[in-house]
Structures are given as structure tokens and as C-alpha cells.
């Protein structure tokens, strides 16, 4: 802040990330804080106070890090967000006219999802016996890392499933998808009723909890990020405990890790999965789940299996190609009993021409929950039929 500017720019709030370089009249020059990131990445989130009535242009000096729908804007302290839109963008800058009463406005590359949002969401289910909020572990900085157990938690389930997200701290849109899955499981729908009676879910909504709250990129963190930590010896406490949990769980059939992809590009404007799956049974079973997703989806964001198949051969901007060494998805495919282990990628802002936002991402989570119901019910029914046939044969042979 300068004496002439009479407004303040900061990132002193959960998830905040910006480096302010200078202010020249109505032009603000800033860049994303890369901290311990190896190479370039694009996450930023900042607050402007005291600029009511002003017309400001924000210029990013470290690459074009404004997404395809412009910045996300919040006028209520980060609770609700909307896209500013492309009309206010010009390459690596955007323009904003502050209303007369807009004393506190936040801008972000995406629509942030922090611990406070999760706390408010879970408050709606505080008395639900099918949801238990536990602690996975303590982060390196001493924060409590949430573990949500829901569904069939008071009896032995027929199947179990694990969902994780925020292995890369900046991939915030995944949080809204997880909300939608939880809504489906706890709903009075046919899918929710069956899932609560038959499947136990373990959900880790913030794998890189410190990065999420500190506003880190998370992706390509030195010496390696959380999604490259599934190696012989893990260095992050969250990953250590996730590995132990999944390895010890019996009948864990599905393990999904929800991500967001790169900043822009055609393949990043479609809902995509799986992330470079190995050939064989895991790929076949994952495609069964994705076929179910195509069939049941009701929300505005449409998954298409053809886009998914294209992504399996894609080579990323950081040189990724083939199986990702040390990733959750690659590791979990090797855990005995896991039938499906994969990534799901949801774009930050644009999916097949449709707007990705807090509501549409949550509705996509509803669809994903419905698809999990279809696949898991089919599998458990098949196994129950096999068990009945086996027991009948054993009974006949003993007579």
C-alpha cells in the first residue's frame, strides 16, 4: 500500500497467495508466490480493501495466470464466488470496477475451498449417525488433518471405498466434488440408502492440509509434492497414514483421487479420467465405473468416456507421461483387493463449454456418487450370487 493508493492488497487469510510488486495510479503489478515450487505454476488469491469506487487493472508479471473465465471474485469474505468473465481480461491482466460499497473484495485463480468451508458444510450433518469426523493425523505444522468416515460405519460393510483430494494444495475445485459425493451418500435417494447400508467410505478432503491453509501451489513442491510421496519411504505424515489405512482395510474396492488439471487447453476443458492407468483389470473396471457415470449423470457438467481415453495418452506440461511414479493412483493399484484405483480430473473453470463453479462441481459430485452406487451394487450383488451358488453346492455335496 502507498500513501497515494488509499487501498490495501494482501493475502493474510487462509489460502491467500500473492506478491505485490508495485502500484502505479490505477494499475497494480503483482505475481503468484511460488515459494518452494520447482518451476512455474499458476495459483494466486488476494484481497483488496478500501478500493470502493475505483477502477483498477491488475497486471500479472510472471506469466499469463488468469484462467479461461477470468478471475473468481468474492464479495462476502470468500464464502461465495463467481467468475468475472473473459470480457474484463486481456492476456495476463484483468480489470475490475469496485462498487461504492465494495470495501472488501477477493480475487482468485479459482474458487477456494478451505477448512472453514468444510466445517460449515459438515455442520448440516452434525447429528447424522452415518457421518463421523475424525483426525487422520497432525500435519507437519501441527494442523489437524480431517478423516471423514461415512456410510455403513456402525456395522461390517460389504465394501469400502477411499476418496482423497488436495494432494496438490491449489486444486480447490475438487473440494466441491467431494461435497457432492457426501451429499449423495447421506441423501434419502435410493443410491444414498443403499450406500449407507452397504459401503463404508473414508474421505481425506485435504491431503496437503498445510498447503491448503497456507495458500501454497502444492504442485511440484520441493523435494517432491504429496502426490509423488507414495514411494518406499514417505516424507509427509498424511501420506504415511493414508498408506497404512488403505493397506489395512479389508474389502476396499474403490480408491479415487480427485484433482484439477492444468490452467488451459482443450484437454483441460473436459472432465477427464483415468490418469494414465495401467492396462488390464484396473483399467477395465474403471471404464465400467465411467460408463455408469455417463449413463446416470444429471448435472450440467458432462463426463464423456472418449475424452477420458484421450487423456490416457496425454503428456503434461511438466513432462509427465506414462505411470506417475510415487502417485496415489499408481500406488493404490498395487494394494491387494483394490478393484479400481485412479485419478479423476475436474477443470477449474470450463468443462465441455459448461461453467465449472461451486454448484456445478458439487452436482458433478452427486453424479459421481450415483455412479459409485451403480458399480458397487453390481459388484456386491455378483459376489453374493457367487457365494450363494457356492454354498448351495457345498450343501448338496454334504447331503
> Domain range spanning residue 13?
8-108
Question: Which CATH number goes with the domain that contains 25?
Answer: 2.60.40.3120
Edge-to-edge strand ranges of the sheet holding 19-24:
19-24, 27-31, 55-60, 93-97, 89-90
Could you tell me if 120 and 216 lie in one domain? yes
In a domain, 235, yes or no: yes
In a domain, 3, yes or no: no
Could you tell me if 328 and 352 lie in one domain? yes
Domain end: 108, 143, 168, which one? 108
Could you tell me if 69 and 154 lie in one domain? no
Question: Which CATH number goes with the domain that contains 168?
Answer: 3.40.630.10
Domain end: 56, 73, 108, which one? 108
Could you tell me if 69 and 48 lie in one domain? yes
Could you tell me if 269 and 287 lie in one domain? yes
* pTM attached to this predicted model: 0.92
In a domain, 67, yes or no: yes
Could you tell me if 73 and 134 lie in one domain? no
How many folded domains does the chain comprise? Answer: 2
In a domain, 399, yes or no: no
- Number of other residues whose CB lies within 10 A of the CB of residue 39: 11
Q: How far is CA 304 from the centre of its chain?
A: 19
Tens of pLDDT, residue by residue, the chain (399 residues): 443 458 999 999 999 999 999 999 999 999 999 999 999 999 999 999 999 999 999 999 999 999 999 999 999 999 999 999 999 998 899 999 999 999 999 999 999 999 999 999 999 999 999 999 999 999 999 999 999 999 999 999 999 999 999 999 999 999 999 999 999 999 999 999 999 999 999 999 999 999 999 999 999 999 999 999 999 899 999 999 999 999 999 899 999 999 998 898 777 777 877 655 555 678 889 989 999 999 999 999 999 988 877 666 555 555 454 456 799 998 999 999 999 999 999 999 999 889 999 999 999 999 999 999 999 999 987 655 544 544 545 555 665
In a domain, 391, yes or no: no
Could you tell me if 333 and 275 lie in one domain? yes
Domain end: 88, 108, 128, which one? 108
Could you tell me if 76 and 121 lie in one domain? no
Could you tell me if 83 and 154 lie in one domain? no
Could you tell me if 89 and 217 lie in one domain? no
Could you tell me if 86 and 191 lie in one domain? no
In a domain, 57, yes or no: yes
Could you tell me if 285 and 165 lie in one domain? yes
Amino acid at each position: 500500500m502507498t500513501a497515494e493508493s488509499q487501498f490495501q492488497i494482501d493475502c493474510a487469510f487462509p489460502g491467500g497467495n500473492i506478491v505485490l510488486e508495485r502500484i502505479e495510479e490505477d494499475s497494480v503489478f503483482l505475481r503468484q508466490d511460488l515459494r518452494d515450487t520447482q518451476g512455474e505454476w499458476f495459483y494466486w488469491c488476494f484481497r483488496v480493501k478500501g478500493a470502493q469506487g475505483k477502477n483498477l487493472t491488475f497486471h500479472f508479471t510472471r506469466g499469463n495466470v488468469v484462467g479461461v473465465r477470468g478471475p473468481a471474485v468474492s464479495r462476502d469474505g470468500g464464502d461465495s464466488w463467481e467468475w468475472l468473465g473473459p470480457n474484463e481480461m486481456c492476456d495476463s491482466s484483468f480489470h475490475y470496477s469496485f462498487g461504492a460499497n465494495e470495501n472488501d473484495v477477493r480475487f482468485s485463480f479459482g474458487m477456494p475451498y478451505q477448512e472453514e468451508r468444510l466445517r460449515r458444510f459438515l455442520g448440516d450433518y452434525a447429528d447424522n449417525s452415518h457421518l463421523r469426523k475424525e483426525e487422520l493425523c497432525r500435519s507437519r505444522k501441527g494442523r489437524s488433518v480431517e478423516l471423514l468416515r461415512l456410510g455403513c460405519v456402525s456395522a461390517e460393510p460389504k465394501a469400502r471405498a477411499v476418496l482423497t483430494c488436495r494432494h496438490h494444495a491449489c486444486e480447490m475445485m475438487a473440494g466441491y466434488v467431494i461435497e457432492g459425493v457426501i451429499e449423495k451418500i447421506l441423501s434419502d435417494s435410493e443410491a444414498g440408502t443403499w450406500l449407507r447400508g452397504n459401503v463404508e467410505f473414508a474421505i481425506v478432503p485435504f491431503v496437503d492440509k498445510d498447503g491448503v491453509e497456507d495458500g501454497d501451489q502444492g504442485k511440484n513442491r520441493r523435494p517432491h509434492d504429496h502426490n509423488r510421496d507414495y514411494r518406499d519411504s514417505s516424507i509427509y505424515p498424511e501420506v504415511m497414514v493414508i498408506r497404512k489405512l488403505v493397506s489395512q482395510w479389508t474389502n476396499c474396492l474403490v480408491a479415487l483421487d480427485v484433482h484439477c488439471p492444468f490452467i488451459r487447453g482443450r484437454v483441460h476443458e473436459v472432465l477427464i479420467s483415468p490418469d494414465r492407468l495401467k492396462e488390464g483389470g484396473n483399467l477395465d473396471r474403471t471404464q465400467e465405473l465411467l460408463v455408469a457415470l455417463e449413463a446416470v449423470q444429471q448435472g450440467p457438467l458432462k463426463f464423456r468416456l472418449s475424452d477420458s481415453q484421450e487423456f490416457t495418452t496425454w503428456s503434461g506440461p511438466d513432462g509427465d507421461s506414462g505411470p506417475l511414479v510415487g502417485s496415489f493412483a499408481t500406488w493404490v493399484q498395487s494394494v491387494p483387493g483394490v478393484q479400481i484405483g485412479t485419478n479423476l480430473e475436474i477443470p477449474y473453470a470450463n468443462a465441455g463449454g459448461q461453467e465449472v463453479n461451486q454448484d456445478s462441481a458439487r452436482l458433478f459430485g452427486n453424479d459421481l456418487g450415483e455412479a459409485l452406487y451403480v458399480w458397487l451394487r453390481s459388484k456386491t450383488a455378483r459376489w453374493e450370487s457367487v457365494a450363494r451358488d457356492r454354498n448351495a453346492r457345498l450343501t448338496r455335496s454334504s447331503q
